[in-house]
A and B are shown apart, each in its own frame.
Chain A
Amino acid sequence: MSRIVVGPFNRVEGDLEVALDLDAGRIASAQVNSPLFRGFEQILVGRAPLDALAIVPRICGICSVAQSAAAADALADAMGLDATVNGKISRNLITATENLADHLTHFYLFFMPDFARPAYAGRPWYAAAARRFAAVKGEAAAEVLPARAGFLRLMGFLAGRWPHTLAIQPGGSTRAITAGERIRLLAQLREFRGFLEKRLFGDALAAVANLASKDQLLAWAAGRNGDFPAFLEAASDLGLDRLGRAYDSFLSYGAYGLFPAGTWQAGQGAAFDPVAIAEDTSRAWLATAQPRHPALGETIVDADKPDAYTWCKAPRYAGQSFEVGALARQVIAGHPLALDLVRRDGASVMARVVARLLELALVLPAMEAWVQALQPGEPFCAHGEMPDEATGAGLVEAARGSLGHWLSIRRGRIERYQIIAPTTWNFSPRDSEGQSGPLEQALVGLPAGEGAPPTVQHVVRSFDPCMVCTVH
């Protein structure tokens, strides 16, 4: 048995280290370390409640508006305020823009460059992958950045800018869209659809959205010219449809009114109960206590704690490790392709990537419909009073999965603010029962160490981790 430490694990958002115990070239056990501490939960205490809207986006530069949306929901909950119809649509558009842009960034800039590694020089798809997906210098990087920047122009209209906007408010949005701007929004969506259909999929979005099984998916991809088909070819060749399985327990808070909240475990869906969440701190450099619901959570640094190995807490649902993200959302929403992939081989590198790109095909048409549903002239923001004493929760879906904010207000100030980010679920450490987090579980059995293929790289990045959120 030997131990190796892998880091800095780059092309993820933030800093990540993975310690691997190896036995005969295979991973016997993994420990995931988030080596940076941010302290946002302490920064928020004592502030005016609405200050959270200015502070929480700065937790994360890639999930910035997801953080805004969770805070706005938690504050609206505390205020007993309901957003206007336009405000809700606007917010869906802003969060969907970020989520889809993140899926695109992850696929092209973070995930695919690993297929251009010289370790794969002998594979039949290598030359094309290296030309197209090499980091920074590949053909695709030159095409995807203008497509991404163009798509994010939606934020210039809807949110002022991205990242870090104050446009999302408990009552809706500060930015009323005019009739003329609706036309620009639709044009921008059309331009992005063009990129996705021409370059990413090589087919209409509807054709991708309607794929209902793994067999259909692979038959559709065979011989097709597009970056998603190119991924499927390489991933099939490398067996990535069978690697990276964690617990196959999934959680989603529900998104946009399109994808429902729920859980999925042992092949069965169930209703989501927010009371069943608790955070364990036994292996984090934080004071140890009984696992607590985040509404009562504490974050107290204990930097020299023996046996601790990360700044990340271990959130559990009904005491168990759950995986969150696009695959979880689509399995719980019952998308036949996501369900078929998971029922056959469990959650895998391929299934996670497929689910993310499937969301691009599913959500962009919804965005087009939302823009058409905006009613210029009707209010974009409702207004209400902030109570001096209240509690609230905001549960949203970021690109990477379920994001929750829990706050309490006392004497007009924030008394407690607790956050559970998506990667906190996926990259959680062991808990007091010794149960591993999803990534720790997914790494067991994989080849690693001297001379091993870059499998670990694919598995880690398949979760699209956001470490800066993790360690808020």
Chain B
Amino acid sequence: MKVLWLQSGGCGGCTQSLLCSEPRSLFDELRDAGIEFLWHPALSVDSGEEALTILEDCAEGRLAFDALCIEGAMLRGPNGTGKFHLMAGSGRPLTEWVTRLARHAKWVFAIGSCTAYGGFSANTPGNPLEACGLQFDEQTPGGLLGAGFQSSAGLPVINIAGCPTHPGWVVDTLEKAALEGVTTADLDEFGRPLLYAGELVHHGCARNEFYEFKASAEKQSDLGCLMENLGCKGTQAHADCNLRPWNGSGSCLRGGFACIACTEPGFESPGHAFQETPKLAGIPIGLPTDMPKAWFVALAALSKSATPKRVRNNAVEDHPVVMPAIRKKGGGK
């Protein structure tokens, strides 16, 4: 599978993240799966004219490629000109390049939430950059390529959302496409591959015991559950971050900070401060999406009343101050 990769209104962090792919090195992993970069802006040797020739040949259908991977929001402004990003050396808007190239791609992959839904670029008040995703404008279908776009494999844009994306999400999705193809049954309604978006960040969270007992962190660096006070959206965010570790052993929750739901369209402007949980009458607004609110409140009250001292005390410290009790075999007493 030949991959053509372009970057636009984004930070390049999805490529930097991809290079962290483990356990095998990214280049070995992809090569053995039959995947190669026809051109990648951060990795390929070809520069200037050499690179433009490759891109022009692809856009004209003279040079075959399979996958178009785009990293970064599509900047259509100012006034529809696309001048906020003219591709270097070409004088043409990147949006025009993407539109031309997408016609010849078997698969189109939006790498990261900017590319999928518009990202921070689309979140300046009034959106002066006229930024959007490839096929979404936040939650609304459309974007640069339009709601009806299908690549030659008959699929909409595949949105590997995340800010950044996990290397495993990209590698596994590309390999699935190369090995057995992708169908709409493999994607959720925001175009995200279910192989990672079929889970919630909450699944496998190391703070699970604190969540069970509603033993909440009160300030940054506390060990407790971050949902009640510190803005955590892990129970609503679609991703397997706590089942598929980041950088060996990490995740946002393991790093001690809230999930800000970076795989969700519109996460950039949550309507409240990122690190605070908005509440109504003392109850967090953003409860788990598929649980009746009254039940949640009743269960929370019950579990709070049953919280062990260890969990309650440790929740508001940055290191455990009460160790789990040790069960000893009878006989001594």
A-side interface residues toward B, CB under 8 Å? 5-11, 13-17, 33, 35-40, 42-43, 45-48, 50-51, 53-55, 58-62, 64, 105, 109-110, 113-114, 116-117, 134-137, 141-142, 145-146, 148-150, 152-167, 169, 171-176, 178, 301, 303, 376-377, 379-381, 383, 457, 468
Contact = CB atoms under 8 A, between A and B. Distances in A.
Contact of B219 (A14, A160, A164, A383): A383
B319 A178 contact: yes
Which 10 pairs, one residue from A and one from B, show the smallest C-beta to C-beta distance? Answer: A160-B255, A61-B13, A7-B88, A7-B89, A156-B250, A174-B256, A153-B248, A17-B88, A156-B247, A161-B246
Interface in B7-28: 7-17, 19-22, 24-28
B49 to A, nearest CB: 8
A11 B7 contact: no
B75 interface: yes
Contacts of A50: 273-275
B220 A62 contact: no
Given A149-B25, A176-B318, A110 B42 contact: yes
Given A9-B88, A156-B249, A42 B255 contact: no
B12 A61 contact: yes
Given A11-B47, A113-B45, A174-B221, A53 B11 contact: no
A14 B253 CA distance: 30
Nearest to A460: B47
21 contacts: A7-B87, A8-B89, A36-B84, A39-B124, A53-B274, A54-B274, A105-B16, A134-B45, A145-B21, A146-B24, A149-B21, A155-B247, A156-B245, A156-B248, A160-B255, A161-B246, A164-B164, A166-B274, A167-B255, A174-B221, A381-B220
Contacts of A137: 27
A33 B43 contact: no
A455 to B, nearest CB: 13
A135 B43 contact: yes
B48 interface: yes
A189 B24 CA distance: 19
A200 B163 CA distance: 32
B255 A164 contact: no
B78 to A, nearest CB: 5
B221 A164 contact: no
B251 interface: yes
Nearest to A55: B120
A381 B22 CA distance: 31
Contact of B256 (A43, A59, A173): A173
B195 interface: no
A176 B11 contact: no
B84 A149 contact: no
A311 B67 CA distance: 31
A142 B25 contact: yes
Given A376-B319, A381-B221, A42 B47 contact: no
